[in-house]
Structures are given as C-alpha cells and as structure tokens.
Chain A
C-alpha cells in the first residue's frame, strides 16, 4: 500500500492558498494603480478568509517552535511543521529582516484588508515573499504526485 495522501492533501491546500494570495495581491496592485477591479468582490472576500485562516494556523505553529526548548515541533501535520521551519530559517538569515520577515503573521493578517497606499505597498511585498516561500515548499508535493520526466 503506497502513500501519496499526504502529498496530495498538501498539494491541494497549497494550491488553494497560493490562488487566494494571488487574488489579494492583484487586487492590491490594481487598487494602487486606480484600475477598476475585474475580480468579483465575493471571490476577494473568500480569498481573504482562506488566507487569514492559513496565517492563523501558521502563527500558532510558529509560536510553538519559538517557545520550544529544543526546537522539537509537534504541530498539526509534519508538512506544515516543515513550512514553519523554512519560514523561521529565512527570517533568521537576516540581521535586520525586512518585508514579510519584519512583521508578525498576525499583523500581515490584519493588513489583508488594507486600503491606504503605503499599507498596500507593504502588503504587496509581503505577499510576494510569502508566495515564493509557499511555492518552494510545495515543489516536493508536486514531485511526489506528478513525478519527474
């Protein structure tokens, strides 16, 4: 009995989160440029909800890791644990972190509803960095499910 259920469920979840992130990011960029939004308002609202929920889950795990005495992380599932460790390792690379790594995930969650141009610019930067992180993380699932040629 082989096992690809973990890769498959992570692939589906990452796919959903990345799409939500792209919708919010495009919305912010167009708003900043004063262009009429071609994306449905309900779709944007749903994207915000999905991303908020995901950030809360990641934040909980992050708290656990940062307060663990020996860096052993239990978390909800190992793939999310790996993502948390990847996020932390990226954050610790810099003496003075910027963008995504300079703020808390709870702040980023609040910023998803930003209206002010300065905040929108910051949001766009953070979402770009988060997307890069998620895409790198989900490559292993893509390889596990689809294989290589």
Chain B
C-alpha cells in the first residue's frame, strides 16, 4: 500500500503543477484576475498537503498509512473539483462572460461578507457552487448575454450569504422546522405501526423544508436586492406555462425546490408589501390565469398548508435581518434614465425590464448600447 500511496502523491504534485501552468497561462478578462489568484493559492494549499503526506510517508510508520491514504483521497477529490468546476471559468474564459462577471463583481462588492471574495461564472443552469472564498456561479449561455435575466444572480448570492451566517441561519430554520412539525402533526396519534409511517412522513417534510426554506430565503434576497426586475426575471425565466410549476405528485414534492407557484405566492406577497403592487398583481395574475386555464387546484400533499404562511414569513424576515442583503432603493426600483458610471446596475436592470415591456421590437438595439456603457464603466 505504501508505494501506491507514494506514487499517487507524486502524481498529484505533477497534476498540481500542470493545472497551475494552465491557469497561469490562460488569457482572462480583468474581472477574473482575483479569482485566478485565489485558485493559485488553493493549488499551493493542496501542494502543501501533498508535501506533508510525503513527509509523513518518509517517517516509515505503517500505522499512519490509513491517515495518509485518507488525506491523499481528500486532495484527489479537491483536485477533481478544481479541474471539473472551479478552474473552468479561467481555462475557458470568453469575452461574453464579462457582463455576468461585472454584475457579480458589483454584487459581491456591496456586501461586506463577499467584498473580498472573488467569484466566477460558467455556462449551466442557474445555480451556485458555494465555497468559502471561491463561489462559482452557473448561468445559461444565451441568457448571460442579456440584461433581462441577470437579476437571477441576486437569488444565487443568497446561498453564499447563507453560508457566511450558516450557524445562525440553521438555527432560525431549525426553529421554523420545529414549528412546522408542530403545526402539521396530526392532533391524535395512533399507537401502532401507523405511528411509524406518520413519523417517516413528518421526517420527510421537515427535512424537505430545510432546502425549501433556503430557496424561499434566496427568492426574498433576490427581490430585496433587485426590486421589481427580480420578480419579472424570475417569473419569465421559470415560465408559467410549465405544468410542473403548479403541481407535483407527492413523491416529487420531496425536492430541493418548492413548487414554483408557492414561490410566486410568497414573492408577490413580499413585492406588494414592499410597494411593488402593480408588478406583483401583473405577475400573480398571469400565474392564476394559467392555473385556471389548465384546471390546477393547489395541493401540496401535507408539505404546505396556509397555516404555515405566517411562521414562514416571520422566519424569512429574521433571515434577512441576519444576512442584511443590500436593499434596492425606490429610485433604483423606478428604473429609467440610468447614467453609466454614476447609477447602480440595479437601476439599469429595472430600466431594462421597463424598456422590454414597453417596446419589445426595439429592445435589442437599446440593450446593446446599455451593455456597452455598463461594461465600459464597470472596471
């Protein structure tokens, strides 16, 4: 076993050197410079671990081989994660990434938690691979070239903010899950095999709510940062025409994301409370219209009941207070007359939706000029 572990560690040193050369030699836009520096620091960290493994091996002690093997495996996984995911935005950097990178750069800069945290973006379904100090955003390749869907990044940074306050946020969500368990628990419990079945169902529901609550929270973060443009981007991107966004069979409810209609309900309620009444009514109206047309009756099979609404809302408020995402100002929400270099991208993104809704035919030309202005003033 010893020679195998040693060979593997020597091979890892070569892999680290090779990846370092690739990362250092790749042409990248300036927005990716600090991300690349952090990647190189991470490689140095892995190199030190491998060197420690080799130092431990040289001691010739058979009884520490299991620990060296375990540490070697850790580096193998980490290197694979780097090569598969985190190194990709540097190795495949493209000019078209700049729009997303500029927005992410701004978004990270206005939050104290992420101020010194470089991030990158690669093609993929909207999501984030959160990691302390090196989050990686995924965004669809067509949508990343337009201003309209960029507000969806404000949802994704919610996951990163959650990670920075994980202990406190987990406590808030734990309290909520306890409340949910109490509220959804049957008034009487049978003392037979049915009890076990009930307990399994309850466990499934409160486990599911851990993920659901993080998604509801990220939606609330998206709306807080982006204002009306987030609601429009979210509703349009998710699309009210997908039947699965209204109803799921019980076996599919135990999913990482709540049923979209439920997310729309919470989002539009929050939007109305924030003063975005018109857009909230417009969006909810569209979803209700489709729901009526395809004959949907809201049924969450015990995973949600209106009795939970208040406790969910209260927890969301506390989560927002804990993480304190930057709030969209009334003038930013009002959009219009964005001035490059002076106004924030939030105003631009709200303006973009106003332009798009007012005149879709001329939107593309209008957008090209605004993107140029934004990029020329963003670094």
Q: Does the CB pair B70–A76 fall under 8 Å?
A: no
Q: Interface readout for A120-132 with B: 1 if CB under 8 Å, 0 if not?
A: 0000000010010
Residues of chain B within 8 A (CB-CB) of A11 are 77, 81
Q: Give the contact-size bracket for chain B.
A: 35 or more
CB proximity of B360 to chain A, nearest CB, Å: 25
Q: Is A111 an interface residue (CB 8 A)?
A: no
Q: Does the CB pair A75–B71 fall under 8 Å?
A: no
Q: Does the CB pair A72–B181 fall under 8 Å?
A: yes
Question: Interface segment, B203-211, B344-352, B364-372?
Answer: B203-211
CB proximity of B87 to chain A, nearest CB, Å: 14
The chain B residue sitting closest to A82, CB to CB, is B207
A17→B166 CA distance, assembly (Å): 16
Residues of chain B within 8 A (CB-CB) of A142 are 77
Residues of chain B within 8 A (CB-CB) of A5 are 127-130, 159, 214
The chain A residue sitting closest to B206, CB to CB, is A74
Given A9-B166, A15-B77, A70-B195, the answer on whether A1 and B206 have CB atoms closer than 8 Å is no
Q: Is B132 an interface residue (CB 8 A)?
A: yes
Q: Interface readout for A74-98 with B: 1 if CB under 8 Å, 0 if not?
A: 1111100100000000000000000
Question: Interface segment, B7-15, B26-34, B60-68, B299-307?
Answer: B60-68
CB proximity of A138 to chain B, nearest CB, Å: 9
A residues 96-139 with Cβ under 8 Å of B? 128, 131, 135
Q: Does the CB pair B71–A19 fall under 8 Å?
A: yes
Q: Does the CB pair A29–B63 fall under 8 Å?
A: yes
Q: Is B131 an interface residue (CB 8 A)?
A: yes
Q: Does the CB pair B203–A1 fall under 8 Å?
A: no
Q: Secondary structure at chain A's binding surface: helix, strand, loop or mixed?
A: helix
Residues of chain B within 8 A (CB-CB) of A39 are 52
Q: Does the CB pair B181–A77 fall under 8 Å?
A: no
CB proximity of B72 to chain A, nearest CB, Å: 10
A residues 11-50 with Cβ under 8 Å of B? 11-12, 15, 18-19, 22, 25-26, 29-30, 33, 35, 38-39
Question: Interface segment, B169-177, B264-272, B289-297?
Answer: B169-177
Q: Is B78 an interface residue (CB 8 A)?
A: yes
The chain B residue sitting closest to A12, CB to CB, is B131
A residues 45-78 with Cβ under 8 Å of B? 70-78
CB proximity of A55 to chain B, nearest CB, Å: 15
Residues of chain B within 8 A (CB-CB) of A77 are 170, 210
Could you say which of A6, A33, A38, A135 contacts B256, with CB atoms under 8 Å apart? A6
Given A35-B59, A71-B199, A72-B206, the answer on whether A146 and B214 have CB atoms closer than 8 Å is no
Could you say which of B55, B66, B257 contacts A38, with CB atoms under 8 Å apart? B55
Q: Is B188 an interface residue (CB 8 A)?
A: no
A6→B218 CA distance, assembly (Å): 14
A5→B212 CA distance, assembly (Å): 12
Q: Is B329 an interface residue (CB 8 A)?
A: no
Residues of chain B within 8 A (CB-CB) of A75 are 174
Q: Is B21 an interface residue (CB 8 A)?
A: no
Given A22-B67, A70-B195, A131-B70, the answer on whether A8 and B210 have CB atoms closer than 8 Å is no
Q: Is B243 an interface residue (CB 8 A)?
A: no
Q: Does the CB pair B56–A74 fall under 8 Å?
A: no
The chain A residue sitting closest to B85, CB to CB, is A145
CB proximity of A128 to chain B, nearest CB, Å: 7
Residues of chain B within 8 A (CB-CB) of A4 are 127, 129
A75→B66 CA distance, assembly (Å): 31
Q: Does the CB pair A76–B171 fall under 8 Å?
A: yes
Partner-A contacts on B (CB < 8 A): 49, 52, 55-56, 59, 61, 63-64, 66-67, 70-71, 73-74, 77-78, 80-81, 84-85, 124-132, 138, 155, 159, 163, 166, 170-171, 174, 177-178, 181, 189, 195-196, 198-199, 202-203, 206-207, 210-211, 214, 256-257
Q: A8-B129, A25-B64 are in contact. List 7 more A-B contacts (CB 8 A).
A: A5-B159, A11-B77, A22-B67, A39-B52, A76-B174, A146-B80, A146-B84
